[in-house]
Structure 1
Amino acid sequence: MSTGTGTGTGTAADPAPRPRTVVALAGVTKEYPGPVAALRGVDLTVEEGELLGIVGPSGSGKSTLLHIIGTLDRPTAGSVHIAGHDVAALSDRRLSALRAQHVGFVFQAFHLVPGVSARDNVAEGLLYSGLARSVRRRKAADALARVGLADRLDHKPHQLSGGQKQRVAIAR
């Protein structure tokens, strides 16, 4: 017997856990100087475990939306909550920590630091976490192992294939 609301299939004795909201945008608008409004009144909720595709023609605001969700830019109006945190209320330092813990980007160009090992490229993603360098490097090695690159920890970007570079960026 199914009871309750939402998408769960729990019973009265064993209710399904409620999904956790990881991204919540309400009335988000982003205007640039001149007559350009990249976003107007965007409402969006993303629950933990959901997969979201953002599609649209060139100039429709996809990159702007991702920059706002990733806390790289702030909206002109509206509210943004990431992992329960009101982005507008956070200092730059707290925002950096939030990004390090809850936000990940894989850019087309991967943005790996040339001349730096795969392990240290990943460890740099934890720079604002407050963790000691040795702990960051250990966590980086663990992350690289999870993406199948345990044998490439000390390889520099120029020594990696395109797919391996992408996995380094994902691990970061």
Structure 2
Amino acid sequence: MTMMLKGTHAELIGIYTGIHAKFSKGDFYSIGGLAPGKMPLQWHLLIYEPDNEQNDEQCIAMHSNETIADTISWTYELVAVTTYKFHNIALNYSRAFMACSAEGLDLAIINSEVEGHVLSAVRRSRNGQLEDRSCSERASFVCEKSVDSLLID
């Protein structure tokens, strides 16, 4: 991710994940209904996050630990049984969700430590950290799709 985001808005604020508290402020869940405590996540500034600053931070963004390079790429990255699409154009949470949905994808959810390392390796960066933020802020994002869901029975 480091190389992908350099010089973009996302370099400063990170990328959205598929974790949010849109329906119950302060109660974060993945789009699939999984609580963050059941995911291999590391909060940014562990002592302070999630802090729901001004009761207005309902989305989770992943920060890069390194600087990032701006390469707008609309290609898909096939890894194991999941395909990922990295978006560099910053959108707010609901627009990022809609962009992924329009492509038949979901906002990426890191379901395991292995998946976190895979995403990290794809973008040649270290694991990011998470932070809660307002869903109206614009950020880059990653969509995902299980390859199995693309198969016709």
TM-score of the alignment, normalized to the shorter chain, above 0.5: no
TM-score, structure 2 as length reference: 0.23
Bigger relative contact order (CA 8 A; separation at least 6): 2
Larger Rg: 1
TM-score, structure 1 as length reference: 0.22
Q: 1 or 2, which has the higher strand percentage? A: 2
